[in-house]
Amino acid sequence: MSPLIRNGLVAFIAALILVLGALIYQYERDSSEQDTPAAVAIGGPFTLTDQNGATRHDSDFRGKLMLVYFGYTFCPDVCPTTLATMTKALEKLGPQATEVVPVFVTVDPDRDTVAQLKLYASNFAPDLVALTGTQDQIAAAANAYRVYYRIAKPDKDGDPYTVDHTSFIYLMGRDGKYLGHFDPNVKADTMAATIGKQL
């Protein structure tokens, strides 16, 4: 065996061991995550501004459940539909709804000013907390909730842009910890029943 081939072979085997090691590590990580759902950290501290211009922290809502949804007011379909479902679910809960704070966080702070959020929020649950902030504050909140968002290029130049975003609704406990999430197309009855079990 020439030294060149031998060196190549050694490098190849070393690379193989590295790849195998990485695969085994990843496999063990995945299976341990499945065993302990509590390890999925969704949610966390945020500092944002509500539709009345007041600074709000996630800790302001301790002692109540939170329904947290990220979107933007110019969203043509998913956001208004989802917020309407949240509103309906809270109506179905009746007086118990005072134990649940619906929270809407914009992923489009450039257009979703405090005034724009105030206007938009008036279409939904009366106690909806609509939040905006700086790009950094929004990014930090979205990151805490594992929410992805990205400004999409409009089909035609000059058209308003849209924002691709994760559309889950997160149900958070009285201690601020993640309890579960709803799909955006969940029925209001289902949502109300699931929330009701946590009250």
Calpha distance 67→40 (Å, rounded) = 18
Ranked by CB distance to Ni ion, the top (closest) residue is 75
Nearer to Ni ion, 75 or 103 (CB): 75
Taking the complex as a whole, the smallest distance from the CB of residue 198 to Ni ion amounts, in Å, to 25
Residue 85 phi, psi (nearest 5): -65, -45
Tokens of 75: 């969203």
Nearer to Ni ion, 13 or 78 (CB): 78
Taking the complex as a whole, the smallest distance from the CB of residue 159 to Ni ion amounts, in Å, to 16
Calpha distance 140→49 (Å, rounded) = 14
152 contributes a contact to Ni ion by CB under 5 A: no
Among the candidate windows 33-41, 72-80, 85-93, 104-112, which touches Ni ion by CB under 5 A? 72-80
Calpha distance 67→60 (Å, rounded) = 14
Nearer to Ni ion, 71 or 109 (CB): 71
Among the candidate windows 10-18, 46-54, 77-85, 145-153, which touches Ni ion by CB under 5 A? 77-85
78 contributes a contact to Ni ion by CB under 5 A: yes
CB atoms near residue 123 (< 10 Å): 12
Burial class (CB in 10 A: 0-12, 13-18, 19+), 113: middle
Calpha distance 86→102 (Å, rounded) = 8
The radius of gyration computed from the CA coordinates of the chain, to the nearest angstrom, equals 22
Among the candidate windows 40-48, 57-65, 73-81, 123-131, which touches Ni ion by CB under 5 A? 73-81
Among the candidate windows 19-27, 30-38, 64-72, 98-106, which touches Ni ion by CB under 5 A? 64-72
Binding site for Ni ion (CB under 5 A): 71, 75, 78-79
